[in-house]
Amino acid sequence: MKKVEFNSIWAKISIGFMIILVPIFILGYMSQKLAADELKQQTIQSTMSTIHQTSKNVDNIMTSIQELYKQISVDPRFQMYLASNFQALSDYDQHKKNSDMEDIFIEYANTNLYISKIILLVDEKKYVFPHTNGSSMSRDHMIHYIQQAAWYKDAVDKKGKLGWVGRHTEIDELFHSDDLIRDYAMSAVGMVKNYPVKKEMGILVFNINPINIRRVLEGVHLGSNSEVHLISPDGRDIYLRSRDNKMIMTMENTFNNEELLNATDKKGFSYEDYHGKKHLMIYESIGDTGYMVVGLIPESHLMQSSKKIKNLTYGLIFFIGLLVIIIGFYIVPRSISNRINVLIQKMIKVEQGDLVITQTIDSNDEIGIIDRHFNKMVKKLEALIQDNYVKQLKKREAELNALQFQINPHFLYNTLEIMNAIASVHKCYAICDISENLGEMFRYSISSDTSDFVNLSDELSHIKNYINIQKVRFGDRFEVYYDIEEGIEETKVLKFILQPIVENAMTHGFSKDMEKGFLEIAAFRDKHKLIIQVLDDGCGMDKDEVIRLNKAINEGTESLFSGDKSIGLKNVNMRIKLAYGQQYGIYLFSGENEGTRVIYTLPICEEYLLDDNKRIKE
């Protein structure tokens, strides 16, 4: 039997995990007790915050109606109506004035979404209300009947300030119609005065649209089986039940809690019996209107959350204990094995030539130390290979430069100047243009600036000279369009990156039987990148050919002088990657009979420099 060594990492981990179980059990029990109490306090605070916001929302509604009341009171049309001598008017004129005043009230009501109707009660002749033939009382008796109501007298006593009341028999009697009665949830009542004579004339009644009250109450989310109430000073109750989302606002519905209605505190909470069950009641008054917002949450709902926490905590303690045993004897050994496997996989990838490190082992034990030293070794190996790769690229570039300079460009440029002069003397202007364009191309290639980087505008001028010469050769077989974003002309780019691609488009893109081809050269900024596109509408390529060319210019290792039509593409792509980095270069998109699009991706350069490694600063 193998002897257990208590100094081994296996023994220490196992003992440590077992010791952890004891405080876990103690902390679990204490935490569920504290969490249950904290949850109850958070629920109370959250509900109080919700009720407070609802109170503010209703207060805003009431404030807007108070402002509307003030506007109507001082409206010259309204004051003229109050000052009118109805005794001297015919019945028709009286009716006309009442009708005009009703139109003015409708106009005002339309400016406030919370109002369903505005009612005016002055005397038996001056009135605006939807009195129907179904009423049991005449008009003058109706007005006298309303004037005896307590809320009417209270409105007169307030002298210019609105009073708020719930549903009342006297207001319902004005309508005597179920449809009209359902059209309001509560009312604002204010005394009106004829200001020129300083005489109190009657009252204005603003009926509040129940739809908007419902929207305010619907915004209160207190949980299942909860209710939110809007209670008037005399106990008229409007409330929304969460279980069926139904709003109750009948005139008979009152909130029977005298202690709450007479409370001096503006807000607070308590536990009350409601419909035979204990509820958490949270309330807050709405300004000085006498109205109150009340939220009722069943205590059983609060206990459900506490029970869930208790059950969850005990369940977690059980599973944590089980996990500790599993981790101590299974997970930890497996994690060690997994890290060793990571090292093995990295070694296999290096053996296969993949020197990109995508995963590291972040630890300070022996496995972590081995991984860090292995990573350093791979990076050094990659640096050596990269150094050799750069040297090979420079060798290829030197070979290309050797070919370019086999003919003395200065001699050719001077010869073209002579040809241009002779053609001008003999009025052979076509030859003048060709020699001038070709001369500009040679001037561009032998520029005294030894840098490989030029402004984008210079590279575009060079390609325009090349295209002008090709147009002499091909005539009107193709048209060229330029779409260059304003402000990027001074961006630095490599020399001679456009001509090989444009030459490919003319040589391979336009078939002989095409009547006319179109070529577009576009350049624009994309964040910190410069995007150049060369597009033609030629014969295009099939999918396999596009894949082969993209692979050849990005992955091919054959000589640049192999004779393949992708030589120019590979040369440009290789120079871009060497100058800017592997994330930049060119890519082809094409379809058979759909033309070809070549996209350059380059960095936007603030400044450029050329050193032994052709690095460029972005």
Say if strands 478-484 and 517-526 run parallel, antiparallel, or are unpaired. Answer: parallel
**Does residue 612 carry a pLDDT above 50?**
no
In terms of Cβ atoms closer than 10 Å to its own Cβ (0-12, 13-18, 19+), residue 560 is middle
483 dihedral zone (left: phi>0; alpha: psi -120 to 50; beta): beta
* Two tokens, residue 455: 């402004």
Note the pLDDT tens digit of each residue in 80-91: 888 888 788 888
If one counts every other C-beta atom within 10 angstroms of the C-beta of residue 70, the result is 14
Note the pLDDT tens digit of each residue in 300-316: 777 676 677 777 777 77
pLDDT for 135: 47
In terms of Cβ atoms closer than 10 Å to its own Cβ (0-12, 13-18, 19+), residue 434 is buried
pLDDT > 70 in the chain, percent? 76
Q: How confident is the model at residue 556 (pLDDT cuts 50, 70, 90)?
A: low
* Two tokens, residue 62: 């009431």
Buried-state track 330-355, b at ≥16 Cβ within 10 A, e below 16: eebeeeeeebeeeeeebeebbeeeee
- Could you tell me the CA-to-CA distances from 615 to 450, 579, 611 in Å, in that order? 16, 6, 7
Note the pLDDT tens digit of each residue in 523-537: 999 988 999 999 998
Closest residue by Cα to residue 208 from 236, 227, 176, 228: 236
Note the pLDDT tens digit of each residue in 11-45: 556 666 667 767 777 777 777 677 777 777 887 88
pLDDT for 290: 81
What is the identity of the amino acid at 496? F
Note the pLDDT tens digit of each residue in 205-230: 888 888 888 888 887 877 777 888 88
**Does residue 614 carry a pLDDT above 70?**
no
- Rg (C-alpha) for the chain, rounded Å, is 45
- Could you tell me the CA-to-CA distances from 506 to 470, 502, 592 in Å, in that order? 9, 6, 16
**Does residue 169 carry a pLDDT above 80?**
no
Task: Tell me the average pLDDT across 490-506.
Answer: 88
- Could you tell me the CA-to-CA distances from 543 to 415, 422, 537, 573, 600 in Å, in that order? 46, 50, 16, 20, 20
Note the pLDDT tens digit of each residue in 47-83: 888 888 888 888 888 889 889 998 988 899 988 888 8
Q: In which element (H, E) is residue 336 found?
A: helix 332-351
Which of the residue ranges 212-221, 487-496, 542-551 would you say has the lowest mean pLDDT? Answer: 212-221
**Does residue 355 carry a pLDDT above 90?**
no
Note the pLDDT tens digit of each residue in 558-570: 444 444 556 778 8
pLDDT for 597: 94
pLDDT for 84: 84
